[in-house]
Amino acid sequence: MVDGDGDNRNVLETVSDFVDSHIRLFRMIPWIVGCTGLLLMYRHSRSIFRRFNSASDIPVSVVAACVPLRGAVMRVSCEGVWVCHVPLWIVWSKAPGM
């Protein structure tokens, strides 16, 4: 009769040997995942930290998502209205309930 524990032990030893021989890779996995996450967050949130100087600077994705932009009117002239835009990060961090 074949004992099932011997097969399990061989599998366990094989996995253990693989992990031991590649321990450096397993220690780097959290760093790789963390850096990838930060890179993706930065890539998708660049407009949160940006100050838009003109209407043409506002990305289409921000306009399409109907993100409210806040600012203060600096002056009104014949050329148009000059608005000092407040970055979205500052608006969200000062929002009530956050």
What tens digit of pLDDT does each residue of 32-53 get?
999 999 988 887 776 666 777 7
Q: Residue 41 is encoded by which pair of tokens? A: 């967050």
Domain ranges in the chain are: 1-44, 52-98
Q: Would the pTM count as exceeding 0.75?
A: no
pLDDT at 16 over 80: yes
pLDDT at 98 over 80: no
Tell me which residue has tokens 């000092």.
84
* Residue pLDDT, tens place only, 21-37: 999 999 999 999 999 99
CA distance 7 to 15: 12
Q: Residue 59 is encoded by which pair of tokens? A: 């990305």
The candidate with the shortest Cα–Cα distance to 70, out of 45, 88, 96, 44, is: 88
